Amino acid sequence: MSCPGAAARDDQLPRRSSEASLRSPPTPSTMPNMLPIRPNPEPGESLTGYLVRLSGANLHEPRFVADLVGVQIPCIDPGDHQLETLAKLTGKDVGRLAAMAYRKSGPSVSRSRYGARHHRLSFLGHSVVRHHLMDETRQVCVACLKEACHHRILWDLRLLDTCPEHGWRMLSKCPHCSKDLRWNTTSIDLCGACGKRFPAAQEREPQEVISAARFLRDLVQYGAAKPELVEDLSFLQTLDVLEAVAVAAQRAHDSDGRPLHPAVERTAKSPTATAYSLILSGEHALLDTLRASAAVTRNPVLDEANPVLPLVRAAGRMNGSRFERMVMSFVRERAAQSLMASA
Ligand SMILES: [Zn+2]
Ligand SMILES: [Zn+2]
Protein backbone atom coordinates (compact mmCIF):
# COMPACT_ATOMS: atom_id res chain seq x y z
CA MET A 1 0.00 0.00 0.00
CA SER A 2 1.19 3.53 -0.71
CA CYS A 3 1.17 6.39 1.74
CA PRO A 4 2.56 4.28 4.58
CA GLY A 5 0.84 4.97 7.84
CA ALA A 6 -2.49 5.97 6.36
CA ALA A 7 -4.19 2.92 7.76
CA ALA A 8 -2.26 3.13 11.01
CA ARG A 9 -3.65 6.61 11.64
CA ASP A 10 -7.15 5.19 11.75
CA ASP A 11 -8.65 5.94 15.10
CA GLN A 12 -12.15 4.60 14.88
CA LEU A 13 -12.18 1.14 13.38
CA PRO A 14 -15.78 0.01 13.68
CA ARG A 15 -16.59 -3.42 15.01
CA ARG A 16 -16.99 -6.10 12.39
CA SER A 17 -20.29 -6.09 10.58
CA SER A 18 -22.95 -8.24 12.09
CA GLU A 19 -24.40 -11.02 9.97
CA ALA A 20 -27.60 -9.00 9.57
CA SER A 21 -25.82 -5.99 8.16
CA LEU A 22 -23.80 -8.19 5.78
CA ARG A 23 -27.04 -9.50 4.31
CA SER A 24 -28.79 -6.14 4.13
CA PRO A 25 -28.39 -3.56 1.38
CA PRO A 26 -26.62 -0.39 2.56
CA THR A 27 -28.76 2.01 4.55
CA PRO A 28 -27.62 5.14 6.36
CA SER A 29 -27.18 3.14 9.58
CA THR A 30 -24.97 0.51 7.89
CA MET A 31 -23.08 2.92 5.61
CA PRO A 32 -20.15 3.42 8.01
CA ASN A 33 -19.24 -0.25 7.55
CA MET A 34 -18.51 0.42 3.90
CA LEU A 35 -15.44 2.43 4.93
CA PRO A 36 -13.96 0.53 7.88
CA ILE A 37 -10.68 2.47 7.72
CA ARG A 38 -11.17 6.14 8.50
CA PRO A 39 -7.98 8.17 8.56
CA ASN A 40 -8.07 11.52 10.30
CA PRO A 41 -7.89 14.64 8.13
CA GLU A 42 -4.39 16.11 8.26
CA PRO A 43 -3.66 19.80 8.95
CA GLY A 44 -3.75 21.73 5.66
CA GLU A 45 -5.30 18.83 3.72
CA SER A 46 -7.88 19.52 1.01
CA LEU A 47 -11.23 17.77 0.98
CA THR A 48 -10.57 16.20 -2.44
CA GLY A 49 -7.20 14.95 -1.19
CA TYR A 50 -8.90 13.48 1.87
CA LEU A 51 -11.52 11.70 -0.25
CA VAL A 52 -8.73 10.12 -2.33
CA ARG A 53 -6.84 9.05 0.80
CA LEU A 54 -10.00 7.69 2.41
CA SER A 55 -10.74 5.72 -0.77
CA GLY A 56 -7.23 4.32 -1.02
CA ALA A 57 -7.15 3.30 2.65
CA ASN A 58 -10.27 1.22 1.98
CA LEU A 59 -8.91 -0.17 -1.31
CA HIS A 60 -11.44 1.69 -3.43
CA GLU A 61 -11.17 4.04 -6.38
CA PRO A 62 -11.98 7.68 -5.48
CA ARG A 63 -15.12 7.39 -7.61
CA PHE A 64 -16.59 4.82 -5.20
CA VAL A 65 -16.37 7.08 -2.16
CA ALA A 66 -17.43 10.15 -4.18
CA ASP A 67 -20.59 8.27 -5.21
CA LEU A 68 -21.28 7.27 -1.61
CA VAL A 69 -21.02 10.91 -0.55
CA GLY A 70 -22.78 12.25 -3.65
CA VAL A 71 -20.00 14.52 -4.89
CA GLN A 72 -17.66 14.81 -7.86
CA ILE A 73 -13.89 14.43 -7.79
CA PRO A 74 -12.40 17.00 -7.54
CA CYS A 75 -14.92 18.03 -4.89
CA ILE A 76 -15.75 21.73 -5.28
CA ASP A 77 -18.55 23.37 -3.30
CA PRO A 78 -20.11 20.29 -1.62
CA GLY A 79 -23.54 20.89 -0.13
CA ASP A 80 -24.38 20.64 3.58
CA HIS A 81 -26.06 17.28 3.00
CA GLN A 82 -22.96 15.84 1.29
CA LEU A 83 -20.70 17.03 4.09
CA GLU A 84 -23.03 15.51 6.67
CA THR A 85 -23.00 12.20 4.77
CA LEU A 86 -19.20 12.24 4.72
CA ALA A 87 -19.15 13.06 8.43
CA LYS A 88 -21.43 10.08 9.12
CA LEU A 89 -19.35 7.77 6.95
CA THR A 90 -16.10 8.75 8.61
CA GLY A 91 -17.14 9.72 12.11
CA LYS A 92 -15.36 13.06 11.65
CA ASP A 93 -16.61 16.48 12.66
CA VAL A 94 -18.67 18.08 9.91
CA GLY A 95 -17.25 21.52 10.66
CA ARG A 96 -13.72 20.25 10.20
CA LEU A 97 -14.62 18.65 6.86
CA ALA A 98 -16.35 21.87 5.73
CA ALA A 99 -13.21 23.87 6.51
CA MET A 100 -11.24 21.63 4.09
CA ALA A 101 -13.70 22.32 1.24
CA TYR A 102 -13.86 25.20 -1.23
CA ARG A 103 -17.43 26.45 -0.93
CA LYS A 104 -19.27 29.12 -2.87
CA SER A 105 -18.97 32.50 -1.22
CA GLY A 106 -20.77 35.54 -2.52
CA PRO A 107 -21.93 36.38 -6.02
CA SER A 108 -20.03 35.15 -9.07
CA VAL A 109 -17.59 37.48 -10.79
CA SER A 110 -18.04 38.61 -14.40
CA ARG A 111 -17.69 35.86 -16.99
CA SER A 112 -15.84 38.23 -19.31
CA ARG A 113 -12.70 37.87 -17.22
CA TYR A 114 -12.79 34.28 -16.03
CA GLY A 115 -15.08 32.47 -18.49
CA ALA A 116 -16.92 29.46 -17.11
CA ARG A 117 -14.68 29.33 -14.01
CA HIS A 118 -16.02 32.59 -12.58
CA HIS A 119 -17.59 31.32 -9.35
CA ARG A 120 -16.38 32.81 -6.12
CA LEU A 121 -15.08 30.24 -3.64
CA SER A 122 -13.71 30.46 -0.14
CA PHE A 123 -10.11 29.30 0.01
CA LEU A 124 -8.62 29.13 3.51
CA GLY A 125 -10.68 32.16 4.48
CA HIS A 126 -9.89 34.13 1.30
CA SER A 127 -12.31 34.90 -1.48
CA VAL A 128 -10.98 33.54 -4.79
CA VAL A 129 -12.45 32.77 -8.17
CA ARG A 130 -12.42 29.15 -9.30
CA HIS A 131 -10.18 30.20 -12.18
CA HIS A 132 -7.28 30.56 -9.73
CA LEU A 133 -7.59 27.01 -8.39
CA MET A 134 -6.46 23.73 -9.96
CA ASP A 135 -9.37 21.69 -11.21
CA GLU A 136 -9.34 18.32 -12.97
CA THR A 137 -5.56 18.20 -12.68
CA ARG A 138 -3.39 18.34 -9.56
CA GLN A 139 0.19 19.18 -8.64
CA VAL A 140 2.35 17.82 -5.83
CA CYS A 141 5.66 18.41 -4.09
CA VAL A 142 7.35 15.02 -3.90
CA ALA A 143 9.50 16.07 -0.93
CA CYS A 144 6.37 17.08 1.03
CA LEU A 145 4.77 13.73 0.16
CA LYS A 146 7.80 11.90 1.57
CA GLU A 147 7.24 13.70 4.86
CA ALA A 148 3.47 13.24 5.00
CA CYS A 149 1.46 11.60 2.25
CA HIS A 150 -1.54 13.87 1.83
CA HIS A 151 -2.62 16.61 -0.57
CA ARG A 152 -2.01 20.17 0.70
CA ILE A 153 -4.67 22.84 0.10
CA LEU A 154 -1.95 25.29 -0.92
CA TRP A 155 -1.07 23.12 -3.94
CA ASP A 156 -4.48 23.89 -5.42
CA LEU A 157 -3.42 27.48 -6.04
CA ARG A 158 -2.64 27.46 -9.76
CA LEU A 159 -0.05 30.25 -9.49
CA LEU A 160 2.03 28.21 -7.03
CA ASP A 161 4.61 26.44 -9.21
CA THR A 162 7.27 25.75 -6.57
CA CYS A 163 7.10 24.25 -3.09
CA PRO A 164 7.70 27.05 -0.57
CA GLU A 165 9.03 24.53 1.98
CA HIS A 166 11.52 22.60 -0.15
CA GLY A 167 12.11 24.84 -3.16
CA TRP A 168 11.31 21.97 -5.53
CA ARG A 169 9.27 22.62 -8.61
CA MET A 170 5.72 21.34 -8.20
CA LEU A 171 5.11 18.20 -10.23
CA SER A 172 2.08 18.53 -12.50
CA LYS A 173 3.01 15.87 -15.07
CA CYS A 174 4.11 12.32 -14.35
CA PRO A 175 7.88 11.95 -14.98
CA HIS A 176 7.29 8.33 -16.11
CA CYS A 177 4.41 8.65 -18.60
CA SER A 178 4.28 12.47 -19.11
CA LYS A 179 0.52 12.56 -18.50
CA ASP A 180 -1.06 15.35 -16.45
CA LEU A 181 -1.57 14.34 -12.83
CA ARG A 182 -5.26 13.75 -12.18
CA TRP A 183 -7.31 12.53 -9.26
CA ASN A 184 -7.83 9.01 -10.62
CA THR A 185 -5.43 7.45 -8.14
CA THR A 186 -5.68 5.44 -4.96
CA SER A 187 -2.76 7.31 -3.43
CA ILE A 188 -1.63 10.91 -3.78
CA ASP A 189 2.00 9.84 -4.37
CA LEU A 190 1.12 7.67 -7.39
CA CYS A 191 0.35 8.57 -11.00
CA GLY A 192 -3.21 7.50 -11.77
CA ALA A 193 -2.36 6.87 -15.43
CA CYS A 194 0.67 4.54 -15.11
CA GLY A 195 0.43 3.65 -11.42
CA LYS A 196 4.09 4.50 -10.73
CA ARG A 197 5.39 6.43 -7.73
CA PHE A 198 6.98 9.82 -8.39
CA PRO A 199 10.79 9.85 -8.17
CA ALA A 200 12.10 11.91 -5.25
CA ALA A 201 15.10 13.76 -6.60
CA GLN A 202 14.94 17.35 -7.74
CA GLU A 203 17.15 20.41 -7.57
CA ARG A 204 16.17 23.49 -5.66
CA GLU A 205 14.83 26.30 -7.81
CA PRO A 206 16.63 29.70 -7.82
CA GLN A 207 16.12 31.83 -4.72
CA GLU A 208 13.83 34.32 -6.51
CA VAL A 209 11.49 31.49 -7.47
CA ILE A 210 11.40 30.15 -3.91
CA SER A 211 10.79 33.68 -2.57
CA ALA A 212 7.76 34.07 -4.85
CA ALA A 213 6.37 30.72 -3.63
CA ARG A 214 6.92 31.78 -0.01
CA PHE A 215 5.16 35.07 -0.67
CA LEU A 216 2.12 33.17 -1.94
CA ARG A 217 2.23 30.76 1.01
CA ASP A 218 2.47 33.59 3.54
CA LEU A 219 -0.23 35.59 1.80
CA VAL A 220 -2.57 32.59 1.98
CA GLN A 221 -1.69 31.40 5.47
CA TYR A 222 -0.94 34.58 7.40
CA GLY A 223 -2.24 37.42 5.21
CA ALA A 224 1.41 38.57 5.03
CA ALA A 225 2.35 42.08 3.84
CA LYS A 226 2.30 42.64 0.08
CA PRO A 227 4.85 44.58 -2.03
CA GLU A 228 4.16 48.31 -2.06
CA LEU A 229 2.81 48.36 -5.58
CA VAL A 230 -0.05 45.99 -4.68
CA GLU A 231 -0.39 46.64 -0.94
CA ASP A 232 -3.90 48.08 -1.22
CA LEU A 233 -5.26 45.23 -3.37
CA SER A 234 -7.39 42.32 -2.16
CA PHE A 235 -6.19 38.72 -2.19
CA LEU A 236 -8.08 38.03 -5.41
CA GLN A 237 -6.82 41.22 -7.07
CA THR A 238 -3.25 40.33 -6.13
CA LEU A 239 -3.62 36.93 -7.83
CA ASP A 240 -5.10 38.69 -10.89
CA VAL A 241 -2.13 41.08 -11.02
CA LEU A 242 0.47 38.31 -10.67
CA GLU A 243 -1.16 36.37 -13.46
CA ALA A 244 -1.51 39.35 -15.82
CA VAL A 245 2.01 40.67 -15.17
CA ALA A 246 3.37 37.19 -15.90
CA VAL A 247 1.61 37.20 -19.30
CA ALA A 248 2.93 40.67 -20.15
CA ALA A 249 6.48 39.91 -18.97
CA GLN A 250 6.81 36.82 -21.12
CA ARG A 251 6.74 39.07 -24.19
CA ALA A 252 8.93 41.88 -22.91
CA HIS A 253 12.32 41.69 -24.63
CA ASP A 254 15.00 44.22 -25.51
CA SER A 255 16.05 44.93 -29.09
CA ASP A 256 18.44 41.93 -29.00
CA GLY A 257 15.59 39.61 -28.04
CA ARG A 258 16.81 39.18 -24.46
CA PRO A 259 14.45 39.47 -21.48
CA LEU A 260 14.25 43.11 -20.50
CA HIS A 261 14.66 42.73 -16.77
CA PRO A 262 17.39 40.57 -15.16
CA ALA A 263 14.82 39.05 -12.82
CA VAL A 264 12.94 37.74 -15.83
CA GLU A 265 16.01 35.82 -17.02
CA ARG A 266 16.62 34.24 -13.61
CA THR A 267 13.00 33.21 -13.18
CA ALA A 268 12.42 32.08 -16.76
CA LYS A 269 10.80 28.79 -15.74
CA SER A 270 8.41 30.41 -13.28
CA PRO A 271 6.03 33.05 -14.68
CA THR A 272 4.74 33.64 -11.14
CA ALA A 273 8.24 34.41 -9.86
CA THR A 274 8.87 36.71 -12.82
CA ALA A 275 5.74 38.64 -12.01
CA TYR A 276 6.54 38.76 -8.30
CA SER A 277 10.12 39.99 -8.96
CA LEU A 278 8.84 42.75 -11.25
CA ILE A 279 6.20 43.87 -8.76
CA LEU A 280 8.85 43.91 -6.02
CA SER A 281 11.17 45.95 -8.27
CA GLY A 282 8.56 48.69 -8.34
CA GLU A 283 6.75 50.97 -10.71
CA HIS A 284 9.63 51.83 -13.08
CA ALA A 285 10.62 48.24 -13.76
CA LEU A 286 7.02 47.28 -14.34
CA LEU A 287 6.30 50.24 -16.65
CA ASP A 288 9.42 49.44 -18.71
CA THR A 289 8.17 45.89 -19.03
CA LEU A 290 4.69 47.01 -20.09
CA ARG A 291 6.15 49.33 -22.75
CA ALA A 292 8.37 46.58 -24.17
CA SER A 293 5.56 44.07 -24.01
CA ALA A 294 3.01 46.37 -25.66
CA ALA A 295 5.51 47.03 -28.47
CA VAL A 296 5.39 43.42 -29.67
CA THR A 297 2.37 44.21 -31.83
CA ARG A 298 2.61 47.11 -34.28
CA ASN A 299 -0.92 48.31 -33.64
CA PRO A 300 -0.57 51.34 -31.32
CA VAL A 301 -4.01 50.64 -29.85
CA LEU A 302 -4.13 47.91 -27.20
CA ASP A 303 -6.02 45.23 -29.12
CA GLU A 304 -6.84 41.63 -28.25
CA ALA A 305 -3.45 40.44 -29.49
CA ASN A 306 -1.56 42.69 -27.14
CA PRO A 307 -0.10 40.87 -24.11
CA VAL A 308 -0.68 43.93 -21.94
CA LEU A 309 -4.44 43.89 -22.42
CA PRO A 310 -5.21 41.38 -19.61
CA LEU A 311 -3.33 43.64 -17.21
CA VAL A 312 -5.21 46.74 -18.33
CA ARG A 313 -8.50 44.89 -17.91
CA ALA A 314 -7.52 43.60 -14.46
CA ALA A 315 -6.44 47.08 -13.34
CA GLY A 316 -9.77 48.48 -14.54
CA ARG A 317 -11.45 46.56 -11.70
CA MET A 318 -9.14 47.99 -9.03
CA ASN A 319 -10.73 51.40 -8.72
CA GLY A 320 -8.64 53.99 -6.96
CA SER A 321 -5.75 51.64 -6.19
CA ARG A 322 -2.14 52.58 -6.75
CA PHE A 323 -1.81 49.78 -9.29
CA GLU A 324 -4.80 51.04 -11.28
CA ARG A 325 -3.35 54.56 -11.39
CA MET A 326 -0.02 53.22 -12.67
CA VAL A 327 -1.64 51.16 -15.43
CA MET A 328 -3.96 54.01 -16.45
CA SER A 329 -1.01 56.40 -16.80
CA PHE A 330 0.55 53.80 -19.10
CA VAL A 331 -2.68 53.59 -21.12
CA ARG A 332 -2.79 57.40 -21.51
CA GLU A 333 0.87 57.40 -22.63
CA ARG A 334 -0.01 54.74 -25.17
CA ALA A 335 -3.05 56.68 -26.40
CA ALA A 336 -0.93 59.84 -26.84
CA GLN A 337 1.61 57.87 -28.90
CA SER A 338 -1.22 56.51 -30.99
CA LEU A 339 -2.54 60.03 -31.66
CA MET A 340 0.92 61.24 -32.67
CA ALA A 341 1.44 58.27 -34.95
CA SER A 342 -1.83 58.95 -36.78
CA ALA A 343 -1.22 62.74 -37.07
ZN1 LIG B 1 7.58 20.44 -0.47
ZN1 LIG C 1 2.47 8.18 -15.04
Distance from residue 171's CA to the centre of ligand 2 (Å): 11
**Percentage helix, strand, coil for the chain under 3-state DSSP, each rounded to 5:** 45, 5, 50
Instruction: Please tell me whether residue 173 adopts helix, strand or coil conformation.
Output: strand
What would the pLDDT profile of 314-336 be if each residue is shown by its tens digit? Answer: 888 888 899 999 999 988 888 88
CB 136 within 8 A of CB 182: yes
The model's confidence at residue 103, banded by pLDDT at 50, 70 and 90, is very high
Distance CA 132, CA 157 (A): 6
133 closest CA partner among 152, 111, 107, 106 = 152
b/e sequence 147-182, b meaning 16+ C-beta within 10 Å: eebbbbbbbbbbbbbbbbbbbbbbbeebeeeeeebb
Q: Which of 63-77, 87-101, 258-272 has the lowest mean pLDDT?
A: 258-272
For residue 180, how far is its CA from the centre of ligand 2 (angstroms)? 8
Distance 143 CA to ligand 1 centre (A): 5
Q: Residue 97: is its pLDDT beyond 90?
A: yes
Average pLDDT, the chain: 85
The CA distance from 275 to 254, in Å, is 17
pTM across the whole model? 0.86
pLDDT tier, 12 (very low <50, low <70, confident <90, very high otherwise): very low
Length reported for the chain: 343
Identify which ligand lies nearest to the alpha carbon of 179: 2
What is the model's pLDDT at position 253?
Answer: 67
Nearest-angstrom CA–CA distance, 113 and 46: 26
Per-residue pLDDT, 173: 95
Nearest residue to 190 via CA among 77, 52, 67: 52
Among the bound ligands, the one closest to the CA of 184: 2
